[in-house]
Amino acid sequence: MGIKNYTKLLAVAAALLFSISSCKKEEEKQATRQVAVNLPSTLALIYGEETDIALPEDLLKQSHINFRLEFNETDNTQINNSSKLHDKLAKAITIDRNQGKIHVDSRLLYPNGAVSAVTGSKIPDNYKVTVIASSSQEALEGKQTLAIKIAPARLNIKGVDNKNEVPFAYVLYSNADASFELEAPSVPLDGTAWHLGTEGNLGSVVSLKGNQIQFSASAGDPKKKAEQAYDLVPALQKDGFSIALRSFRVVFIPQIKFFYGTYYSDLDLTLLFNQIHIALSNGYISAAPTLYPENYKSTFSLTSIEKDGVAFDNKDGLFELNTKTGAITVKQNSVLQAGRYKFIVKALTTTGLEFSTDLTLIMSKDE
């Protein structure tokens, strides 16, 4: 046999072996059975929450099938000097085959989209977790990717109505050094730090000490005459990432004056008319009280009545208060006795602040 023929024979043999090997690999590949991993495709949590995801029951019944997690579809963001995001994911999202569940603990992660105030690193917009079911005994495999979204928790501000999307508080200029306490009831505080973000440069007017927002006595209008609002964004941070936050508005307002009488704002002059002599049996309607600035006027209520220093029972309804104006009406009657009738009236302002004042009607018989 010539050299050329021998060479040709070797080439044919090599091609045949390669073809056989490729066919075997293709057969092995085709022999791997694909199984469905029926899990929800998305999961939404608030930071601080934990939850379990049940593994597919049909796969759990097959004892030879194992489960594992991969995080390759999620960017491995640098969290701090010693850890990356995949390290955190491996601790926060775990599989317990015996209990048939995937456990997710949001407290070990960070809200999606958060940017670290320390490093500038950004958490991905969601955590993509691939659940893989496979068997070493049988050639089968199944995969499903789950997108987990964690939103930041909401802070509360003590003493403020936190039901509003943006809580707000009104502070009188006379209340120097106003302060507000922050709390995050559902969030563990270990390894966290409080942070105060603001809209605009507020300089030294507002500061944060621990979990206390503090305003200086110079906050607001220097002349203490005009309203001035401050928009704050306090946050609780972990590794520089905000895990809980809340927009919060504080409005400083002028001192509210509330009394029966007249106020001349241009002169800052107050005239009190809170003791009025009237005839005993006649009907009477008082003047409305002054509430300044008027734009804060809301409603009025009658707190108490006294006659000569003793509580008076208005069971006959002889006295009425106009809840819109604050004027007091005395009905014409033959029941009341001479004496000093003192009314305590409360004003509820549009700011939610309450103020009280008094009006005394001195009733005597007609002469």
Q: Convert the pLDDT of each residue in 227-256 to its tens digit.
A: 999 999 999 999 999 999 999 999 999 989
The SS3 call for residue 210 is: coil
**Phi, psi angle pair for 116, to nearest 5°:** -70, 130
DSSP 78: B
Rounded Cα distance, 213 and 151, in Å: 24
Query: Which residues are CB-neighbours of 200 under 8 A, at least 6 positions away?
Result: 231
On the CB side of 248, how many CA atoms lie within 13 Å of its CA?
A: 27
Residue 307: pLDDT over 70: yes
- Nearest 5°: the CA angle 30, 31, 35 is 95
What is the longest distance spanned by two Cα atoms in the chain? 154
pLDDT band at 117 (very low <50, low <70, confident <90, very high): very high
Distance CA 327, CA 310 (A): 22
Burial of 230 (0-12, 13-18, 19+ CB in 10 A): buried
DSSP state letters, 129-186: EEEEEEETTTTEEEEEEEEEEEEPEE-EETTS-TTSSS-EEEEETTS-S-EEEEE-TT
Would you place residue 200 in the very low, low, confident or very high pLDDT band (cuts 50, 70, 90)? low
Enter the tokens of residue 135: 């068997």
Give pLDDT, residue 277. Answer: 95
Radius of gyration of the chain, Cα coordinates, nearest whole angstrom? 38
Please say if the pLDDT value at position 137 is more than 90. no
Structural contact between residues 3 and 11, judged by C-beta atoms closer than 8 angstroms: no
Mean pLDDT of 6-19: 55
What is d(CA 107, CA 115) in angstroms, rounded to the nearest whole number?
17
Tokens linked to 254: 């002028």
pLDDT band at residue 281 under the 50/70/90 scheme: confident
Q: Could you give the C-alpha distances from 274 to 320, 322, 359, in angstroms and in order?
A: 17, 17, 5
Q: Give every CB contact of residue 309 below 8 A, 6+ residues apart in sequence.
A: 342
For the question of whether the overall pTM of this predicted structure is more than 0.95, the answer is: no
Cα separation, 367 vs 350, in Å, equals 45
